[in-house]
Structure 1
Amino acid sequence: MPIINRTAAALAAAALLSLTAPAAQAGGHHLSWGNCQDDGLDPRQRCATVQVPLDYDHPQGEQLTVAVSRIPSEHPELRRGVLLIVPGGPGGSGLNSPSSAVKRLPQAVRDAYDIVGFDPRGVGRSTPVSCRLAHGDLAMVNLRPWADPDGGVARNLDTARRIATTCAANGGPVLRSITTRNEARDIDRIRQALGERKLSAWGTSYGTYAGAVYTTMFPQHTDRVVLDSNDDPDPSRVERGWLANYAVGAEDRFPDFARFASAPGSRYRIADTPEQVRQVFLDLADRLDREPIPWPNANPEQLTGNVLRETMLESLHSDAAFPRLATLVLAALHGTALPVPSTPPDEAQQNTIAVSVGTLCNDVAWPGPAADYRGAVAADRAAHPLTAGMPVNVMPCAFWPYRPAEAPTRVTPVGPSNVLLVQNLRDPQTPYSGARKLREAFGARARMVAVDSGGHDAYLANGNACGDAVVTGFLADGRRPEQDVLCR
């Protein structure tokens, strides 16, 4: 899973997919589409590859492969163009996105567009990259810098140094080439290979930032752009700000879980009131800091306070994950058997984490190891107890041996007014407060549909019928609200 935004299930599936299509040069306006060999795919989905430069300063030099997929418009006479799905992450796979998207997208959207997905450079079936990390370093509780119970960060500094050194040694030139600006350039090569003058896009999570960068770098080639669950584009911080925002997002979202876990008569009831659920959770995490419980086949193989906090953070993404979190809490409270852990395959983790680390560290400079991380953790723990200071702690980028090759993109109001943001009010990962920063950066280029829902991903996922209707109307008919909308 990426360290910031995660789509591990999609990546694990894509890692099993093989492409039979020969490569096509970007700009050639022809792609050789072949079968995508994987279980559960829509039979209409076809795959191909596009060649992109390793280094755009030397476009005729070494080339990388970017894997793309497509499901054509269901009624070609109504076809408007291409809807490119920009995956989350960084490090998430999007190659199988068309097969999953057509199960949810309304008919009007399926008629208007060829639905196109891709694996970004370094990911899945594109030219892959790996840090070859040790098994223990693949655990999210270690990748994310959860501090020691006393707030100490010495262990985090050691872990960050080790991961940075290992990735730099094993990732090679591909890892050093992975940036959001290069992803935007790769997207434009995909557009050229498809023979499209413009493309529409649907970016989710990290894909909202990649989509925003694309619309800033190539505004003349954008048609209708939907950005769903939006990242703060602050060019001075970029991914540093996203990680810090977890503290806000968890506090915004946890009350939804607390109401679920205090519902009368529910088998998942933890306490009588939402306020009590919060206190039970915090007390249990503190107890597990002192007295971990063995958890066979997990990574690590014990339930610590930080493992519980990490599980909570993951479980806030969707209401569907609430029962699993409640089950874990109840088992730990009552001393019963813990649920079977859900651990992605190491191979998929290696790929995703490498791309995530590469993007985070190559996009923007981070404070070095001499920064006052312990002080920052202490202040954040006091302000946001649920995340215990993790969002401001040290990351591998503090030890990254390379400087960013270019400055981060500053999103501005310059360009066509063809962007629609959709955002849950209680998103644990990309909180509403950060999404508003992207809305402000776009100015008149954008409108925002804010949805009074909780969870990560809004359109056709954790949002509501009102928000879905606005987004569908924009994609299918170009109807964008005259002003920002709040869907209750």
Structure 2
Amino acid sequence: MRFSGPKRRAAALGSAGVLVTATLVAGAISAPAASATADTRHGQDREARGVAIAAARAAKTGIDWQDCPADWGLEKPIQCGWVSVPLDYAKPYGKQIELAVDRVGNTGTKAERQGALLYNPGGPGGSGLRFPRRVTTKAPVWANVAKAYDFVGFDPRGVGKSAPISCVDPQEFVKAPKADPVPDSEADKLAQRKLAREYAEGCHERSGAMLPHMTTPNTARDLDVIRAALGEKKLNFLGVSYGTYLGAVYGTLFPGHVRRMIVDSVVNPSREKIWYEANLDQDVAFESRWKDWQDWVARNDAVFHLGTTRDAVQAKWLELRATAKKNPIGGVVGPAELISFFQSAPYYDSSWVPVATVFSKYVAGDTQALVDAAAPDLTDTAGNASAENGNAVYTAVECADAKWPTSWQKWDRDNTRLHQDHPFMTWSNAWMNLPCATWPVKQRTPLDVRTGKGLPPVLIVQAERDAATPYGGAVELHQRFKGSRLITEKDAGSHGVTGLVNPCINTRVDSYLLSGELDGADVTCAPHATPKP
């Protein structure tokens, strides 16, 4: 399941399951992990030299900022440009790829400016190019920070405008209805296994030259080259969801290059969790947050008429699911499409009202509202290509970052057990990740995320009941990054906290980015306002 929010009308992985929906180096590059093998250390040494060469080249070249292409949807005064990075950092003079970047200047005075703030929204596979629009659209939460910082976004390697990869034809990717993710028989499982294997083969056929280099450490190296191209000696970074793991890896590889870093909704960086176990942890957390949403729906039964208890709402959900399995709604919305749509409620509080409203309309007899919300739009060529690309990058990065189980018996045993008590997302998540079991290129050993020499205090922000990145991940990173501070939004579960209105959090984010100030101890904040129908 993606470590970022689901895209509306998210597509399935073929038919296999639902898409749950980067001057001279300014400071020493940290030494490789002590537990690494000699070969790994040698590889890291070569890549460390490579990124130093690429960063020096980028610092000299800079970025040729221009008005953004009209079809990028980025209005003036946002500017766009390109940064060249090596495909393989062990070969810095070899093949180069171009990364798309954009920026909007700080809104305050020249004296107020503190540099560039770079952003990654998660995924893997998310585009950060819309980040400067937080300034041009005058998002109030970011008004104070915008006075001091240029807001800089980028498409990571493989994403969007940055040497995009692909695994299947986008129209095939979005076709509906898909097979029910919950298997009824061994034959169903065999069919899904076949589709997952074919998806992995498709990635290799369409994007094979990129796949060995689609790793989080390489994206972190790209981030350092972008830092240099911007003329920044040190990095200011905001990472959300998967962006927190990118930040953690960057902070481990380049601790002396960090100025300020905020990580929001944290992926557990433990080597044992990346990525197989992290996805199993998601299944448990999604079930809990699904129940939170059902409780809220029940409390608002006067509006939605879906039942006055969680069990009553669940019963209507199971009825809807059974109906869609027997006869896909509108011919296109089956159980897979339902999960793609309904999963946004456990992800984000902002989806609670829209999802409940569509569900309520369906129960009242309006099936078209559900079709409009949950069915793929086959006419949206650009959107479908973006969805397919996002899923391809997600798969490529997670499969390459770590060694995945190759035994189907282990996958079957783990997911069958989890599904018993956590049925909402378990099997759809399993099918989405199963291509990693037969991935056709080398899988790496995850970096040992640790505090390195020169790493300043990092600010960690986390909702206690986050489904996509369970709370334990924030605690783990807090322990690994010495001197960090953890802000916990208690009794809340929205994924991505820093963009929400909660003064307890907003004022601390501002203080940290504007003055470097942190509380003397960790902080617990009350939750942001509960949605009202």
Q: Is the 8 A contact 2:3 2:124 kept in 1?
A: yes
Contact map agreement 1:263 1:269 (CA 8 A) in 2:
no
Pair 1:86-2:116 in alignment: no
The correspondence for 1:56, drawn from 89, 92, 105, is 89
SS class of match (2:212): helix
For 1:19-60, what per-residue CA distance to the aligned partner results, in whole angstroms no more than 9, with x for missing partners? xxxxx9512152211001347634221111110001100000
Take 1:127 and 1:7, find their aligned partners in 2: how far apart are those partners?
Answer: 23
Match in the other structure for 2:171: 135
The residue that corresponds to 1:216 in the other structure is 252
Q: Paired residue for 1:166?
A: 202
Deviations 1:164-205 (A, max 9, x none): 011111113123311100000000000111111101100011
CA contact (8 A) 1:4 1:89 kept: yes
Conservation of the 8 A alpha-carbon contact between 1:317 and 1:427? yes
Partner of 1:148: 183
- Shift in CA distance, 332/156, structure 1 to aligned 2, threshold 3 Å: farther
> What's 1:72 paired with?
105
| Structure 2 stretches lacking a partner, 5+ long | 11-55, 527-533
Matches within 5 A, 1:322-471: 322-333=352-363, 335-339=365-369, 340-341=372-373, 343=376, 345-392=383-430, 395-404=434-443, 406-415=444-453, 416-442=455-481, 444-452=482-490, 453-461=492-500, 464-471=502-509
Q: CA–CA distance in 1 between the matches of 2:175 and 2:90?
A: 36
1:334 to 1:7, Cα distance in 2 relative to 1, 3 A: closer
- Structure 1-normalised TM-score? 0.87
- SS of the residue 1:367 aligns to: coil
Q: Which has the higher contact order (CA 8 A, sep 6+)?
A: 2
Equivalent position amino acid for 1:454 in 2: G
SS of the residue 2:408 aligns to? coil
Distance 1:264 1:119, change over 3 A: closer
Aligned positions, number: 464
1:97 aligns with 2:131: yes
Residue in 2 aligned with 1:315?
345
Q: CA deviation at 1:158?
A: 1.3
- Residues 77 and 222 from structure 1, CA distance in 2 versus in 1: closer, same or farther, beyond 3 angstroms? same
1:278 matched residue in structure 2: 314
2:275 maps to 1:239: yes
- Cα deviation, residue 279, structure 1: 4.0
Taking the aligned partners of 1:133 and 1:43, their CA distance within structure 2 comes to 33
Matches of 1:109 and 1:141, distance apart in 2: 44
TM superposition shift of 1:265? 5.9
Tell me, in whole angstroms, the C-alpha distance in 2 between the residues paired with 1:370 and 1:319.
36
Deviation at 1:160, TM superposition (A): 0.7
Counterparts of 1:379 and 1:350, CA distance in 2: 30
Report if the CA contact (8 A) 1:7-1:92 is conserved: no
Compute the displacement of 1:459 (Å): 0.6
Structure 1 pair 420/174, CA: closer, same or farther in 2 (3 Å)?
same
State how far apart, in whole Å, the 2-side matches of 1:249 and 1:173 are. 36
Pair 1:334–1:99, CA change in 2 (3 A):
closer
Q: Displacement, 1:331? A: 4.9
Secondary structure at the counterpart of residue 129 of structure 2 = coil
State the alpha-carbon separation in 1 of the partners of residues 407 and 200 from structure 2. Answer: 12
Kindly tell me: are residues 65 and 336 of structure 1, through their superposed partners in 2, closer, same or farther at Cα, counting changes over 3 Å? same
Q: Return 5+ residue gaps in structure 1 as ranges.
A: 12-23
Letter in 1 for 2:182: A
Q: Is the 8 A contact 1:73 1:114 kept in 2?
A: yes
Which residue identity does 1:487 align to in structure 2?
A: C
Shift of 1:474: 0.8
1:484 shift after superposition: 1.3
2:303 aligned with 1:303: no
* CA separation of 1:159 and 1:141: change in aligned 2, threshold 3 A: farther
| CA–CA separation in structure 1 for the residues paired with 2:244 and 2:174 | 26
Correspondent of 2:214 among 171, 178, 189: 178
Taking the aligned partners of 2:317 and 2:168, their CA distance within structure 1 comes to 35
Equivalence for 2:328: 293
Change (3 A) 1:388 1:189: closer
